Amino acid sequence: MLDGRSQVRRKVGLRLWLSGGWLLLLVLAALFAPLLSPHNPLEQDLFLGRMPPFWEQGAEPGFYLGTDSLGRDVLARILYGARIALIVALVAGGLTGLIGSTLGLLAGYLRGWVDVVISRLIDIWMAFPPILFSILLIAVLGPGLLSIIIAIVVIDWTRFARVIRAEAMAQGAMDYSASARVAGRRRLSTMVIEILPNVLPTIVVLLTLEMGIAVIVEAILSFVNLSISTDDPTWGGMISEGRASIHQAWWVMVFPLVTLFLTVLSFSQLGEGLKDRFDPVLR
Amino acid sequence: MQLLRSFLFRLASTAITLIGVAVIVFFVIRIVPGDPISMMLPPGATDEDIARLTALYGLDKSIPQQFLIWAGGVLHGDFGMSITARRPVLELVLGRLPATLELSIMALVIAVILGGAAALIGTRERGTKIEAGIDVGNGMALSVPDFLWALVLILLFGVAWPVFHISGRITPSLDLPFATNFYLFESVLRLRFDLWADIVSHMFMPALALAIPLAAIIGQLLKQSLKETMHLDYVTLARTKGYGENRVIIREALPNAILPTLTLVGVQFTFLIGGTVIIERLFSYEGLGNMAIDAVINRDLPLIQGIVILFAVIFTAVNLVVDLTYALLNPRLRHA
């Protein structure tokens, strides 16, 4: 759903700073969650269930963003949820990028049967509905952080492979790579030393976008209740719980939703901003 | 001749893709832990009962054997029996397909209208604050996927200002005179506009959530091509003939600018259909995707297989149709 972006071109500027700033804030929140959060995110207190946020009537002092139906502090759960979201973003995004880019480079630069096999695999992968595929994989692997990361890598490597294959093909046709070969460099070392640095900016942009997608996939899987155990604070799980009691306690769903929204928006805007910055035509 | 040859080549390559999908999904779901047979039997069932049912569904054979039996059945139009519903998979899947198709098509129509309007207005008002506003809106819409838009819409128009239904496909208490499952189309044909309004009010929120990212893509790409076309000589000529700006954009520039958007919309439409899985779940909409998630949760192996294959067939068919349309519309390819 995010693949039309290559067609788009906009100005560099403020949004790079805004999105970077929000993500930095999130990293700090994740790192210092135990210091920042006023309560234990797992601590339940049924007498304090569904307390509204601090500016509303009947709020409980110290629970700034209110509590959920089990009396757990919403703010603490959002802060700790940032840890899971960022781990998924970094690890799943990184591994997806590594595997997808490697396959894309090999297919685009080596061509021949390697390209035939990898391109065929990409075609087959594109024929799967991705969300259904990820739900299926979690059913196979069992719930848990590791399963989510594996599912994201297995499904999303094609995003990198498709783009990097095309880039590597274009770079491989240029004179500099031919001269590297004439100068006696071998194929694989040409690929790594000459081609890779030239497709690296594209990889960085795709990686940023992929991190946003990974956060969303984790939220979707928690929402369908296939992610991590329901106790662990995940934004998707919180949204899912909040959806059930939306008419009684809107804050349980709204705060994690806003956090998730801003995070996904930031990753994506950061990616777009970096793309413009790397684009030599615009620079 | 060239066109026919490349079409046949595409058809063969599509067939290979579908076989690949079938093989992968067949083997993946068979390593799913959890035994579907013991889940469907009451707690007191004997080992004998379990063995008998396992044999009935063919689950006692080796996986490659199971695949050959299944593939043989598929060639005769037999996709096996659903374990939970105990009815033919094909019947269940075809029963739900209309709901998902109607939702996807409605989303596509909304996306084309919103995106097209954004592109046309942006082109007409190019260089102004209006265009800048449209760009910002497009950027936002594009950055956030359908799942989040759906949640935002539920909050805004289902909870804060409840004007649309956010659950189901039609109000359950209504009497349904339909002979097919294409409720939306049939309600129009039967001139039952009361039912039609109820269905649309259920479908609008999920369809809009699916449409927002695609609308942004259409808006941006079409506006870009339109603005490029507006600089061409023949458009200037049209303008010197005294045609108004609206006519120049719609009648002269649009036909030439629309081709790249058309190809992209095809590919993006398959992403939209893939998105129905989670959107249907969110809105408790009784379509294929919702059934698919239930099937995974219940470990209904034959049903999962059937649904995934059907999705793959839809995706590849859409891509095939887009390629053909492109070939027919693009004069350079037509005469090649």
CATH number for position B110:
1.10.3720.10
| Predicted pLDDT at A283 | 45
Of these ranges, B56-65, B143-152, B236-245, the one predicted with the greatest mean pLDDT is B143-152
C-alpha span between B100 and A242 (Å, rounded):
27
Shortest distance between the Cα of A193 and any Cα of chain B, in A, equals: 33
B247 band by pLDDT with thresholds 50, 70 and 90: confident
Residue with tokens 């989670």: B278
Question: CA dist A124 to A100, A168, B23, Å?
Answer: 15, 21, 10
User: For the residues B81-108, what does the mean pLDDT come to?
Assistant: 93
What is the total count of domains within chain B?
1
Look at residue A282 and tell me if it is in a domain. no
Please indicate whether, in this complex, the C-beta atoms of A124 and B275 are within 8 angstroms of each other: no
Number of domains, chain A:
1
Classify residue B28: in a domain, yes or no: no
DSSP letters for B22-91:
HHHHHHHHHT-SS-HHHHHS-TT--HHHHHHHHHHTTTTS-HHHHHHHHHHHHHTT---B-TTT-SBHHH
What pLDDT was estimated at residue B241? 86
DSSP notation for A14-56 = HHHHHHHHHHHHHHHHHHTHHHH-SS-TT---GGGTTPPPTTS
What confidence score (pLDDT) does residue A9 get?
46
CA-wise closest residue to A164 among A130, A209, A204, A193: A204
* Three-state SS sequence of B191-244: CCHHHHHHHHHHHHHHHHHHHHHHHHHHHHHHHHHHHHHCCCHHHHHHHHCCCC
| Residue from the list B33, B145, B308 with its beta carbon closest to the beta carbon of A2 | B145
Chain B partners within 8 Å of A124 (Cβ): 17, 20-21, 24
Does residue A45 sit within a domain? yes
Shortest distance, CA B326 to any CA of chain A (angstroms): 18
- The reply to whether residue A132 touches residue B16, judged by beta carbons under 8 angstroms, is no
**Residue B194 domain boundaries:** 100-290
- Contact B157/A at CB under 8 A: no
DSSP class of residue B245? H
In a domain, B146, yes or no: yes
Query: What's the CATH code of the domain at A225?
Result: 1.10.3720.10
pLDDT computed for residue B1 by the predictor: 66
User: What does the alpha-carbon distance between residue B126 and residue B307 come to, in Å, rounded to a whole number?
Assistant: 45
B333 domain-assigned: no
| Per-residue pLDDT reduced to its tens digit, B267-317 | 889 899 999 999 999 999 999 999 999 998 888 888 998 999 999 999 988
Best-predicted range by mean pLDDT (A219-233, B51-65, B166-180): B166-180
pLDDT of residue B209: 97
Residues of chain B with Cβ-Cβ distance to A120 below 8 Å are 16-17, 20
Tokens at A15, concatenated: 């949004």
- Residue of chain B whose alpha carbon sits nearest to that of A222: B278
Q: Show the domain range for A224.
A: 2-277
| Residues 57-116, chain B, touching A (beta carbon < 8 A) | none
Instruction: Report pLDDT for B332.
Output: 64
| Contact assignment for B151 to A131 by CB distance below 8 Å | no
Cβ atoms within 10 Å, residue B239:
15
Indicate the residue of B16, B282, B292 with minimum beta-carbon distance to A132: B292
Residue of A nearest to B151 (CA): A257
Helices (H), chain A: 14-31, 33-36, 74-87, 93-105, 112-126, 130-141, 145-172, 175-182, 187-190, 196-223, 235-244, 251-278
Instruction: Inform me whether the pLDDT recorded for B83 exceeds 80.
Output: yes
pLDDT score of B186 more than 80: yes
Residue in A1, A120, A128 closest to B308 by CB: A128
Contact B213 A2 (CB under 8 A): yes
Is some CB atom of chain A closer than 8 A to the CB atom of B148? yes
Interface of B with A in 302-331 (CB under 8 A): 304, 307-308, 311-312, 315-316
Question: How far is A215 from A87, CA to CA, in rounded Å?
Answer: 9
Nearest by CB to A136, which of B159, B271, B296?
B296
Q: Does residue A283 form part of some domain?
A: no
Tens of pLDDT along chain A (283 residues) come to 444 444 444 455 787 889 999 999 999 999 998 888 878 888 887 777 788 888 878 777 778 888 888 888 899 999 999 999 999 999 999 999 999 999 999 999 998 999 999 999 998 998 888 888 898 888 888 888 898 999 999 999 999 999 999 999 988 888 888 888 888 888 888 888 888 998 999 999 999 999 999 999 999 988 887 666 667 788 988 998 888 888 888 899 999 999 999 999 999 989 888 887 776 554 4
